[in-house]
Chain A
Amino acid sequence: MLEFLTAFAILIGIYSVFTLGLNVHWGYTGLFNIGVAGFFALGAYAASLLTIRPPSSDQVDDYLYAGDLANRLEGLPVIGALDVWFVAALMAASLVTAAVALVVGTITIRLRGDYLAIATLGIAESVRLVFLNERWLGNGSKGLYTIPRVFDGIVPAQDYDRVYLVVVLVVFAALFLGIRALVHSPWGRVLRAIREDEVTAEASGKHVFRFKLQAFVLGAVIMGIGGALYAFNLRAISPSAFTPLLGTFIIWAMLVVGGSGRLYAPIVGAFIVWGIWSGSQFLPDPLSSPNVRYFSVGVLVVLVLVYAPDGVTPLLSRVRERWTARRRLRRAVAEE
């Protein structure tokens, strides 16, 4: 049970990172990206290719494994409690997604919402097809599976999950605090102004395109980092993880359920949606099937959009307010 909860918490942490990135795109800036899976895949493959170990002699796969950074850096001192190669992998994921997002964004960001959606969907599918078909690059449909453990050699393998949970939480916390600071900064205010009324923002002298591009790249980088975290969790990735359903839709479901544009939405949404997604396997037989999951999460998204368009987070804060009000009242009554 503890193992399950640890694994569950790690995935919530990772999905919160993706949703955080999507919140920067859609929640704060209004960029309709339905190609999350593309940046997710780029981050995961960049981090993995940099660090995978060479296949052992009985594996005849001849794909690019130039990485093996962990071994190459063995001679280097570990700085403090950090694995240098792990930090390098996160940076590689960030750089690759940033570069792709910069190119894609420059071409597509001026497009209307639905054109941007089609463009991002097309790019995400193209990225997936490249990793699926170019065996020399990503070992095709088998994917990459010699990804090293973080803190390998320092932490025993059976404790990896618990240690990795801490790693994920630290990365998430850093990103979350960074986004919170940005949202409250003048930069964040400009983004909100653009989302509310682009024409007015442009008229008041803001360079809308530049702000949107910055937000697009920032969100994509966060998704790339999420991809890297995902790769080091299972330590095996394959193109089947980056389908529009698993790589994009579930993250949109999290953002919508949490309440887009709200700071805590990524955590709340990831918790609820991933809870339904992975919790349903404990249900009695016909209900535990993954097909029921697809159906129910799809319906959930539609219901939330129709009946609670601001997501679940405001409902939670309302419940909390009512609670504190009731407690205050009770205290007041007691003091009487």
Chain B
Amino acid sequence: MFFTARTMSSPAAARVSRVVQSTLAIVFVVVALSHIGLAVNGIFLGSILAMGAVGITLVFGVMRFANIAHGDMMTLGAYVAFFLLVSVLPEHTGLGPFTFGFPLLIAMPVSMAAVAALAVGMDVFVFRRLRLRRANIVTIEIASLGIAIAVRGFVQMVWGTPVRYFPNEGRAHFSLPADISIAPNHLFVSGAALALAIALHLLLTRTKQGKAMRATSDNPDLARASGINTERVLLWTWGIAGALAGAAGVLLVIFNATAQLKPTMGFQLLVPLFAAVVVGGIGNPYGAFIGAMLIGISMEVSTAWALPTYKPAIAFTVMVIVLLFRPRGILGSKG
């Protein structure tokens, strides 16, 4: 933030800053290792945060605004899956070591598609109109806040405010040495998140459309001057961000031991999600992944001392500390 620019300008101060940064990094690793059970949980939470944060950062890259509706898009994804599991798909629980059944493997992609469609629709009906009018970024941001509330209102109108549950059956945890106990669902969560992250990486680096997304994020004017249809790139980006948000919503439900759904589940994650995006370097999907892990681990490890309800405040504090030393985030280097 501002005093970094001022006080860290001299070489001596830069050296002090590097020493403090390394010290903080070492403290973080030592504390995480000394609470390895919590830290492992943090990695699982981090993989869910990553799915959301990567979407926020991709949209930010091409549109330069932080989408406040992202948390509620996750909520919607969870409820679409809930609807499918309870009303459409056959009843089945306890697939292998997991608490959920095989229908979830069908419900999850459908949820992803539904939220992707919502995201594309948001752009076509709201954001594109504001863009064409050259509306100020904050106006666009407030519109996303309006959408966030409307989506939550929609979820509450259809499914009500009481807590709902995915069909599930209890399952024993895997016990590992060093007091680490892993819920089988958590392995599914991190496996699915990793698979999606790899798919996204391949999309961004191996396909023409993915490279066009990165190019548009780098320099939208030059992308247009190269003949890239940036409007179509935006729709792709929204679609991908929406699909990831849908997946994150479903994973968030099965991450929870009792498979709970609440209408506020996504919005409540907004502060940690934004923190992950900012910590990683806003606009950088790889940074968002790293940021999400850092925030996820910090949030879980903090429960060794702080009340669990303080987790969002912990995420925010970690963000402020990182920004003090790296105003552009961990991987944010471009000027």
Contact = CB atoms under 8 A, between A and B. Distances in A.
- Whether A and B touch directly in their complex, counting CB atoms under 8 A apart, is answered as yes
Interface of A: 26, 30, 32, 34, 107-108, 110-111, 113-115, 117-119, 121-123, 125-126, 129-130, 132-133, 244-245, 249, 252-253, 256, 289-302, 305-306, 309
A34 B66 CA distance: 12
Given A298-B150, A305-B130, A306-B130, A113 B145 contact: no
A126 B313 contact: yes
Contact of B278 (A115, A125, A132, A291): A115
3 closest A-B pairs by beta carbon, nearest first, are A295-B153, A298-B150, A294-B153
Contacts of B313: 122, 125-126, 129-130
B150 A302 contact: yes
A107 to B, nearest CB: 6
Contacts of A290: 156
Contact of B138 (A30, A296, A300): A30
Contact of B271 (A125, A295, A297): A125
B137 A295 contact: no
Interface in B54-106: 60, 65-66, 68
A26 B142 CA distance: 11
13 contacts: A118-B319, A122-B312, A252-B145, A289-B157, A292-B157, A294-B149, A298-B152, A300-B146, A301-B142, A301-B146, A302-B143, A306-B130, A306-B143
B120 to A, nearest CB: 16
B145 A291 contact: no
B145 A107 contact: no
A302 B278 contact: no
Interface in B144-171: 145-154, 156-157, 160-161
Given A129-B310, A244-B267, A305-B139, A253 B316 contact: no
A133 B153 contact: no
B146 A298 contact: yes
B133 interface: yes
Given A132-B309, A289-B157, A291-B157, A298 B151 contact: yes
Contacts of A245: 149, 152, 267
B126 interface: yes
Contacts of A30: 138
B203 interface: no
- Most chain A CB within 10 A, of B157, B307, B315, is at B157
Interface of B: 1-2, 60, 65-66, 68, 126, 129-130, 133, 135, 137-139, 141-143, 145-154, 156-157, 160-161, 267, 270-271, 274-275, 278, 282, 307, 309-310, 312-313, 315-316, 319-320
Given A117-B141, A129-B313, A299-B146, A110 B1 contact: yes
Given A34-B145, A121-B274, 20 more contacts: A107-B1, A110-B1, A114-B138, A114-B141, A115-B278, A117-B141, A122-B271, A122-B274, A122-B316, A126-B312, A130-B313, A244-B267, A292-B153, A294-B152, A295-B149, A295-B150, A298-B152, A298-B153, A305-B143, A309-B133
Contacts of B66: 114, 117-118
Nearest to A124: B271
Contacts of A113: 137-138, 141
A30 B141 CA distance: 13
B154 A295 contact: yes
A30 B137 CA distance: 11
Given A291-B161, A305-B130, A252 B278 contact: no
A85 B141 CA distance: 41
Contacts of A297: 149, 153
A158 to B, nearest CB: 34
Contacts of B153: 291-298
A129 B115 CA distance: 30
Contacts of A122: 271, 274-275, 312-313, 315-316, 319-320
A301 B130 CA distance: 13
A306 B128 CA distance: 10
A23 to B, nearest CB: 14
Given A117-B66, A291-B156, A301 B149 contact: yes
A300 to B, nearest CB: 8
A245 B307 CA distance: 23
A110 B312 contact: no
Nearest to B306: A133
Nearest to B151: A298
Contacts of A301: 142-143, 145-146, 149
B150 A299 contact: yes
A275 B68 CA distance: 25
Nearest to B324: A107
A121 B270 contact: yes
Contacts of A110: 1-2
A249 B133 contact: no
Nearest to A307: B129
Nearest to B315: A122
A142 to B, nearest CB: 15
A309 B135 contact: yes
Given A118-B274, A125-B312, A302 B146 contact: yes
B2 to A, nearest CB: 4
Given A118-B278, A133-B309, A302 B126 contact: yes
Nearest to A301: B146
A111 B135 CA distance: 20
Most interface-central of A30, A122, A249 (chain B CB within 10 A): A122
Contacts of B309: 129, 132-133
A32 B147 contact: no
A245 B142 CA distance: 13
